[in-house]
Structure 1
Amino acid sequence: MQEWLHFIDRWFWLGMGAIGFAILFNVPKRTIFTIFLLGAFGGSLKFIVLAAGGGIILGSFFGAVLVGFASLFAAHYRHTPPFVLAIPAVIPMVPGAFAYRAMLGVIHLTEKIDHETFLKLMEETIDNGLKAFFVLAALSLGVSAPMLIFRRESAKNLAVRIKPDEAKLK
């Protein structure tokens, strides 16, 4: 029972984080609840993958793919571009702690320390920096890949006017 309460608590706060970024980006009001659901379910899938033994990079990728696909379908019902829904929903999955530790490690590497401590600190800094980089890459690939795949099929229906309508010019 305790695990379910923790899961629901985490689900709620992931959704609230997504709403916070949605408000910050000034998205339309009609999309707020959808962004809450996308952020909550995408972040929850990330933590489910982590609990199942997958790494943070794989979990972030699957969470972002879920957000990417779901935002494609939700965009039609909310009459808004998919990225308006997907980007605020995926930002709470950004690895701020790893990036912070990497930058803090770089700062500590400039101090006068012995060789053994320097090597250990360098290893931790590189590890945190690479984790942050690959999680960000997984998030961006996971969100954009579904949109790129399906956009190619639907681009045929778009009518793009290259020249202005001559009837309006006369």
Structure 2
Amino acid sequence: MDIDILSDAFFAALAAIGFSSISRLPLRAYPYCAAIAALGHSLRYLLMMRPVPGFHIFWASLVASFLIGLIAVMISSRTRTPAEAYFFPALLPMIPGMYAYRAFGALAVCVLNDNPDTFGYYFYQAASNGFVCMAVLIAMVTGATLPIFIFKKISFQATR
């Protein structure tokens, strides 16, 4: 299990560096984005995969994104960079792409199918996966922005 956590952290950090580069962040921000993404994504992985009952992806994403936002706010005051510059690339690897993919795939089957039973099954799949995807995205945004409001004084001093 340790190798799974390390590989999860490595690939989340790699993705965060890629997202940082297309966001045109300064080079000094790359290691911070990578570290924040690795910590947040690994925490979500641990919360979802722990043996006695694991968190649902919604709750795990909320807790992990809160950690990402908290670390970003604390680092931003030292580096004089807005916290958003750190947590946007760190959150992007946590987007629930498989839920979105399954939702759109099921919608395509709904459109192309005439059988009411098959339509009902795939419509249920589309709705279920779509709701989970949207709920996780809302949890991620909420969790990451809460530290900005909780530590308003620290977060707004970063850009002064």
TM (norm. structure 2) is 0.91
The aligned counterpart of 2:96 is 95
**Displacement, 1:27?**
0.4
Q: Which residue of 1 aligns with 2:34?
A: 36
User: What do residues 1-58 of structure 1 show as CA deviations (whole Å, max 9, x unaligned)?
Assistant: xx11121111111111111100110101111101000000000111111013100011
Match for residue 166 of structure 1? Answer: none
Q: Which residue number in structure 1 is paired with residue 75 of structure 2? A: 74
Residues 77-111 of structure 1 show CA distances to partners (whole Å, capped at 9, x for unaligned) of 22201000011011100111111211121121111
Say which one has the larger Rg: 1
Could you tell me how far apart the structure 2 residues matched to 1:156 and 1:133 are? 29
Counterpart for residue 168 of structure 1:
none
Overall identity of the aligned pairs, in %: 25
RMSD between aligned alpha carbons?
A: 1.9
CA distance in 2: counterparts of 1:90 and 1:16, whole angstroms? 12
5 Å matches for 1:134-145?
134-145=135-146
Superposition deviation, residue 138 in structure 1: 0.3
Q: Shift of the alpha carbon at 1:112?
A: 2.7
Counterpart residue type for residue 18 of structure 1: A
Matches within 5 A, 1:158-169: none
The residue aligned with 1:62 is 63
Question: Equivalents in 2 of 1:135, 1:4: separation in Å?
Answer: 25
1:80 aligned counterpart, secondary structure: coil
| Structure 2 match to 1:25 | 23
Aligned twin of 1:10: 8
Residue identity matched to 1:13 = F
Structure 2 distance, partners of 1:14, 1:112, is: 38
Q: Does 1:128 align with 2:126?
A: no
How many positions carry a matched residue from both structures?
Answer: 156
User: Which structure 1 segments of 5+ residues have no match?
Assistant: 161-170
Residues 1:117 and 2:115 are matched in the alignment: no
Aligned counterparts of 1:156 and 1:34: Cα–Cα separation in 2:
19
Higher relative contact order at CA 8 Å, sep ≥6: structure 1 or structure 2?
A: 2
Query: Structure 2: which 5+ runs fail to align?
Result: none
Q: Which residue number in structure 2 is paired with residue 47 of structure 1?
A: 45
C-alpha distance in structure 2 between counterparts of 1:69 and 1:55, whole Å? 21
Q: CA separation of 1:156/1:51 partners in 2, compared to 1, >3 Å: closer, same or farther?
A: closer
**Residue 5 of structure 2 contacts residue 46 of structure 2 at CA under 8 Å; is this kept in 1?**
no
